[in-house]
Structure 1
């Protein structure tokens, strides 16, 4: 397309007929956008999206077993978890860090400065205390997130944040239960526990077994749920922070992320490139059919289609640069969508349809961004905005079509032999109809037309200025084209030499000699006759410059 200034120079006028549709001939002008989007989004959508993306994250692996759709993306990660080994309590409770913190607890108890972490009450010197793993050692050992991060269970379990002193009866009643699960059971058994305490306290004498039972129940009754929850939240926050730091800063995660982005980028690139090739074939076959005269038989029509396919393949070969560009667009969109999905799955699980939607959004955004920012087809600003709008509108239509397909997939139709075909057909139909509807809206909407009219009317003054400037440059170019360049260079060389002599003159006499010589060199008539002083001494004489 010619440049904007060139169009102005060719008597281009941006005057807008307000009765003319802004998106005139919208079907023909943007048909390739719609067809390519539908082809690549459905006919060529061979990419198998996974629930939770393509990269294992700590959040996702912890959902395995809870979410029936979730599974490991990397077979080695699954093998690492399967081979974690059985839980061995001795490794955790005989760890040097556990022993050190336990010894410090005993010292504080003897000094009378120890406080029970779960009751908030001071501890007697003769009390039987345990050092409790707030997050149980068994939970840490079996945590898929820890194993994914490659962290040692003993390192994470035996920290000051996760080891807290509490009465032995409280600790052993908790066992390896989650703290919230334990508190729920503790609250449910509250009435029964209080009744038993009252019963034992009412007895005049107790056996050793009953005294131990009463002591145990009274200690459990002293539990402060708020303190238990606070300790658990603090410990878990520190634990999760360390696991995340170990994994998300590792080469293991970086390699998986880059590999996932590259793989999806390559698939998206191939999809977009293949879509352009198929569009060229479709467009050529369509043109051949449209060129047929009325009355042709089926054989001639099939021959026209065959010729169209051949021409389409030839056209695609000639447009290899565009195909490579499409591959680049697709690769970028795929890589960005993979990275976005991975980041999302660090915090929450993305469903398959969400992953697909992210891919399509990036495909549309990258294509529209290329038009707006790089303008490969040298479109004027208004055309660039319209084209980008159509691309985004078509992308939105594809998203809706995909959503419809997902809904149909949940119905009994999906289980029938023709289920996949029906889903694809309905998705494509909805996307196509919605694309056309949105384009009609852009074409017929009063708001859109007024907005674009205002834009073009505001542009008229700028265009007029460009036209004046273009005319002035054209006039100057015409004058410059008539100049003898060789003579011009020779003439300017003389002036340069004269300027250099004047600049280096050392006296007025020398300067006078140089100027007189210049008069002769450039054949300039001297405005006086004879001696200058004698000439100027006669008041009847006048200097005449010619």
Structure 2
């Protein structure tokens, strides 16, 4: 969409509003912020047009937008579960499920592994089996006098938060009734043990004869029982860890695939949309030079022809483009996996919001790109300059990501005011997000470029402190305040210039669209706005003849 103030197009405004000349017009000292405005007028425009614009498109396609992330990430953690944050409804249901012993009797296992299946298997043969907690002749009993015991009780398995979170109901049932956790034992032992840990029960005093432990009273072989308990717990721990690893792998894979798709679509858009955008931009820039409607239609046809030719040339480069896609998909998948794992680790101790999850993921993706730049160093920069460029890349990437998150927040704020279906919501949010992206990126780059000067100020400050150790406290505080003021001056000037510039532009813009004012006043205001923006005189409409010439010729 092109915004027009009389004869002033958005393109003219974009090219002029951040120029150094405008800085002079608001009477801000130019020497302290010249570098900042240079960054804002050149570097940032490319960030807005490329990174931010592409990011908006990809987010709207459901490829890594803030709404594609979840509070707590894609990997479940007990910390999140304890705070009511789950990756999906299934995890929530099984984590909050109440204990029911029947869920752990082997219904999900093969029929021969269930409690009744094991008993029937013995009954179908000799009817005699060994008590696994005992040794000696008395260990062999009729199966009718024995129970099938969970070595690690079903209740203990259910109360294991990690087991409930990382294993399905069926997986926990199968684990509870596995060979490693099943033991035929005397019915009296099983009823006495109940849900207690085996070795705790064995060492406890017997309720019928307090002079003996349960192991002594029931003639349990403690070494044998301890070995069975250790093996059962080891097996359960292994299966729970395997479930956690599977959970992490699935969550990381999901984010990896999403980021791979984002990279692939981004590459395709850049490769095939750039020629289209460039030609349409050139046509729009020369639109006013065409004489009459026929000339403009012919010019548009020529533009379409050039677009077709450029796209045909791109298709001839399919091998190189496929190579870029494969490499981009791999890098996207890798960064997605790493980002998901890092997010998962953070969620072991604190729950991340989905907005921070996106910023973290985009930051890691940008870090991967920065590492590639560091390794290849295509422009053969010195280590110091290369470090500066890498820092700018990472900082700018995070700034753009944060701006994309702000777009969604702005939409949330505007929706109740303008209505969720109002087309202005998306437009206003995107424009404001682009401005935020530009300002944040400019501040990042400006700070990095001037970091040496800031460090020098700090160094000089500490040198002064060292010298002033012998002077009074009052003098020392004065020197400290002076040094801090020097460090802050540049940033204060930057912020003041931004405020004054936008205040003046806002005043003129409001005058132009204030329909309570006479038409001539608004017309004159639009001309003044164009002049403030330093639009070339030939591009400004000053009278009815200029307007007729622009729209009718």
**Larger RCO, structures 1/2 (Cα 8 Å, 6+ apart):** 2
Give the TM-score of the pair, scaled to structure 2.
Answer: 0.45
* Structure whose CA Rg is larger: 1
Output the TM-score relative to the length of structure 1.
0.45
